[in-house]
Structure 1
């Protein structure tokens, strides 16, 4: 594979073309077999030990966050929300929210009012609202929004190292009402363990030994829970910022009519493959925010994003949109 097919700065950061090829395979063609690293090594024409040493090095550098599955928070019967706050002390506000909620993201963003954007989860939605309100009062000007994740139409945070822009993977759909693992004969402990597969030749066997199960049972569980929507998006999760993907844009869209919100979000799924998240939202306080369809796009520069945004001109359901760019990740390295 020639270097010209990759973004040069990405290869430079990874240290080799083999590393770039391996991460593309791990992101977009992850094999659901007992020996996924052997299978990828064979595709790349290298020894599995060489591949695993390379992946361990990338993990030490925190370029590779993990290899594994996304765990659908709805399977744990939690609610999730994007909390927006106006604050002059975003780190303190983040620390406060982390003490109350399960926080997976916290970003400084360039919105003129709401500069802190935090994703928080909890079993009790009232706790999320109360946490947002108190954080805004203690650490800001009392201005806050809670944007509920009513429906996640896509979740697949992957980076196309050839094109220098994000592109969702093949398992990007998210089940709206998945069963709990216990409902279909598995444990939540097993589901959580499958989020991070060991960098060993037989990763499922390692998990099996840890939990007192057989390797076949763990592989069966992974496949069934993936099929039922408890798990999703298998493969590598990367730190895009460390790879040079400096542009992180949250695109919020307002429909022409509120009853077109579903159509708007579905249009994005069908026409914006570069969107890593597509979420339909509602807002508390009611009526405080009209841009209730949301997607994310990541790129090495703004020029690659402009053609993506230009496609929105063809959307019949769109009234207007905002691009709210990330300025700083306040929780780097968090496994999501």
Structure 2
């Protein structure tokens, strides 16, 4: 795809227009074929060897985190939550949560006036999440904590529009609420997890196939079935936005006019805010401790590009008020999510 132009600073970080074109293709038009890199190279008019060399360089720069699929944690029968803690020792609190929970995928310092550490964690036992939050807050903070449960993820697609300089969700952003387990379809969870990161090779599925004593066609068929059933999602390139120059990272939390309108509110965001990379309907523990239970994320090269997006919220008939909680520091940079 020919790009009209790039947001400020992006070309300097990427090194070439080819890199930008490749990342846009791999984010927004990822081929669901046995040879996705060959197909993208054909579209761009370059050899697959040249494309893969560019992608490997971007991986070395840690701009390209992976090419592959999101693995829906619900397919592993886990519960996910956003944990908020007031702490002066965020690194120690994060380490404790890493020890106590099965998966910790995000840990950010953010500018909320009370809760400065925000961590996404998962575990099969919800009580373990609550206990982890309580212990981290008591050992390394003031004792103040929240657990905001992910009751329903209406969108998950962290992609960056390199022309506009603001995030924009990809075409396959829906998240299944109750996906089957891979084993229910005759596959293994190990195979589903392996598909999160496709090798940078002309035949990436063939490389994975050798690990599981399968054929390339069998792995491609498994990928498509697990994608169709919601075990996998959001195919394509996953990028480190900050290294690309997307330095604004905002968590927008919205309170509904009435709690019975919460899902309508979240659905309105999905329909009207394409720049939202996550849209999640939440509930709170302790009960009643947090009103802003519709959540979305937005990323941009500067705050000015976010203002028109937030202005759209004024047209939402289900909103009472909202907060933008800005990220200050990523405590787990480079984590595969």
The verdict on a shared fold, with TM-score over 0.5 as the criterion, is yes
The root-mean-square deviation of aligned C-alpha atoms, in Å, is 0.8
The aligned counterpart of 2:212 is: 211
Task: Please state how far the C-alpha of 1:27 moved relative to its aligned partner.
Answer: 0.3
Partner deviation per Cα, 1:146-197 (whole Å, 9 max, x = no partner): 0000000000000000100000000000000000000011111110100000
Offset at 1:5? 1.7
1:165-184 alignment to 2 at 5 Å? 165-184=166-185
1:328 alignment partner in structure 2: 329
Secondary structure, aligned partner of 1:65: strand
TM-score (normalised: structure 1): 0.99
Aligned to 1:31: 31
State the distance in 2 between where 1:137 and 1:35 align: 51
Query: What secondary structure is seen at the aligned counterpart in 2 of 1:327?
Result: strand
The residue number in structure 1 matching 2:308 is: 307
Per-residue CA shift, 1:222-276, capped at 9, x if unaligned? 0000000000000000000000000000000000000000100000000000000
Deviation at 1:76, TM superposition (A): 0.1
What is the distance in 1 between the residues matched to 2:46 and 2:59?
A: 19
- In structure 2, the CA distance between the partners of 1:40 and 1:308, relative to structure 1 (3 Å rule), is same
Distance in 1 between the 2:134 and 2:86 partners? Answer: 11
Q: Separation in 2 of the partners of 1:2 and 1:269? A: 28
Give matches, 1:72-83, under 5 Å: 72-83=72-83
Structure 2 partner of 1:190 = 191
| 266 and 2 in structure 1: CA distance in 2 versus 1, 3 angstrom threshold | closer
User: Hey, what does 2:265 align to over in structure 1?
Assistant: 264
After superposition, give the CA deviation of every residue in 1:268-325 in whole Å (9 maximum; x if it has no partner).
Answer: 0000000000000000000000000000000000000000000000000000000000
What are the residue-to-residue correspondences of 1:1-336 with 2, within 5 Å?
5-101=5-101, 102-336=103-337
- Structure 1: runs of 5+ lacking an equivalent: none
Measure, in 2, the Cα distance between the counterparts of 1:2 and 1:33: 22
Structure 2 spans left out of the alignment, 5+ residues = none
Alpha-carbon distance in structure 1 between the residues aligned to 2:231 and 2:2:
38
Instruction: Give 1:2 shift.
Output: 7.0
Q: CA deviation at 1:8?
A: 3.5
- TM-score, normalised relative to structure 2: 0.99
Give distance in 2, aligned partners of 1:29 and 1:116. 35
Instruction: Give the count of matched residue pairs.
Output: 336
Runs of 4+, deviation exceeding 6 Å: none
SS of 1:5's equivalent?
A: coil
Shift of the 205–2 alpha-carbon distance from structure 1 to 2, 3 Å rule, reads closer
Q: Partners in 1 of 2:8 and 2:285 — Cα distance? A: 44
